[in-house]
Chain A
Amino acid sequence: MVFEPYTIAVMLGASLFGLFVGAVPGLTATMATALLVPVTFFMPPIPAIAAMVTATAMAIFSGDIPGCLLRIPGTPASAAYTDEAFAMTRKGEAELALGAGLVFSAVGGLFGTVALIVAAPALAEFALNFSSFEYFWLVLLGLTCAVLITGDQPLKGVVTLLLGLLVACVGLGNPAGFPRFTFGNAEMTGGIGMIPMMIGMFAISEVIRYVVDTSPPAEVVVDKVGNVMRGQWALAKKYPVQILRGSTLGTAVGALPGAGADIAAWMSYAMSKRFSKEPEKFGTGHVEGIVESGAANNSALAGAWIPALVFGIPGDSITAIVIGVLYMKNMNPGPTLFTTNPQNIYAVFLLFIIANIIMVPLGLLCIKVAKRILRVPRNVLMPLILLFCIVGTFAINNTPFDVAVMLVAGVVAYVLEANRYPIAPAILGVVLGGMLEENFITSMIKSEGDLSAFVGRPIAAGLAALTFLVWFALPLLRALRSRRQAALRSSASPR
Chain B
Amino acid sequence: MKLNDAVLGALFIALGAAVLFGVQGFPKIPGQPVGPALFPGLIATGLCVAGAVLLVQGWRGRRNGERWLAWEPWVQSPRHVAALAVLLGSVLLYIFAAGKVGFLPLAVLILSALFMTLRVPPGRAVLIAVIAALVVHFAFYKLLRVPLPWGVLTPYAW
Contact = CB atoms under 8 A, between A and B. Distances in A.
Contacts of B36: 174-176, 178, 180
B39 interface: yes
B146 A178 contact: no
Interface in B97-131: 98-99, 103, 107, 110-111, 114-115, 118-120, 128
Contacts of A155: 50, 53-54
A178 to B, nearest CB: 4
Interface string B11-48: 01001000100110011010011111001100110110
A383 B118 contact: yes
Interface of A: 39, 41-42, 155, 158-159, 162-163, 165-166, 169, 174-176, 178, 180-181, 204, 207-208, 211-214, 377, 379-380, 382-384, 386-388, 390-391, 394-395, 398, 400, 403-404, 406-407, 411, 415, 418-419, 437, 440-441, 444-445, 448-449
A491 B102 CA distance: 71
B12 A159 contact: yes
A207 B87 contact: yes
Interface of A is mostly: helix
A400 B87 contact: no
19 contacts: A166-B44, A169-B40, A174-B36, A176-B27, A178-B26, A178-B36, A180-B26, A208-B84, A211-B83, A211-B84, A213-B80, A383-B110, A383-B115, A386-B91, A387-B110, A387-B111, A390-B94, A400-B94, A407-B88
Contact of A384 (B27, B88, B132): B132
Contacts of B153: none
Contacts of B22: 181
A380 B96 CA distance: 25
Contacts of B91: 204, 386, 390, 403, 406-407
Interface of B: 1-3, 8, 12, 15, 19, 22-23, 26-27, 29, 32-36, 39-40, 43-44, 46-47, 50-51, 53-54, 72-74, 77, 80, 83-84, 87-88, 90-92, 94-96, 98-99, 103, 107, 110-111, 114-115, 118-120, 128, 132-133, 136, 140, 144, 146-148
A282 to B, nearest CB: 31
